[in-house]
Amino acid sequence: MATKVETKETTRLEEPKRYKVFLLNDDYTTMDFVIDVLQEVFHKSYEEAVEIMLTVHKKGKGLCGVYTYEIAETKVDQVHRLARAHEFPLKATMEEE
Ligand code: TYC
């Protein structure tokens, strides 16, 4: 009878790293535009968007969401494209969690 070899699965897939996306304050971007960006790019409700915008306005930066690398990069890019199209200096950054 053939010997049955049992192998135990020991390798586990690493969880993908996650990245926080922040909006940064500036003196020129309108509050309404930031609220629109938070709703459109980050899928926030109007109330959440107002709260995040006010945090950025008062504290200099505010967390918009946590994503995998490619999604975070895309969100940052979308913010910069929208801002440029409307001639606002609004900036977004990402940081590893
Ligand atoms: N500080 C801006 C103003 O007073 C508003 C603002 C909020 C700008 C958040 C950028 O990420 C930002 N019009």
The whole-model pTM stands at 0.88
Domain assignments of the chain as residue spans, ordered by start: 23-96
The residue whose CB lies within 8 Å of the most ligand 1 atoms, and thus the one to mutate among 24, 55, 57, is 57
**What phi and psi, each to the nearest 5 degrees, are found at residue 61?**
-155, 160
Task: Name residue, tokens 């490619």.
Answer: 70
When the candidates are 3.40.50.720, 3.40.630.30, 1.20.58.760, 3.30.1390.10, the CATH number that belongs to 23-96 is 3.30.1390.10
Residue 57 CB less than 6 A away from ligand 1: yes
CA of 9 to the centre of ligand 1 (A): 52
Residue 94: the pLDDT is 98
Beta bridge partners of residue 61, listed in sequence order: 24
pLDDT by residue, tens only, the chain of 97 residues: 455 555 556 677 888 999 999 999 999 999 999 999 999 999 999 999 999 999 999 999 999 999 999 999 999 999 999 999 999 999 999 999 9
Which CB contacts under 8 angstroms, 24+ apart, belong to 70-78? Answer: 72/19, 72/20, 72/21, 73/19, 75/21, 75/41, 75/42, 76/21, 78/41
Residue 1: the pLDDT is 47
Residue 8: the pLDDT is 57
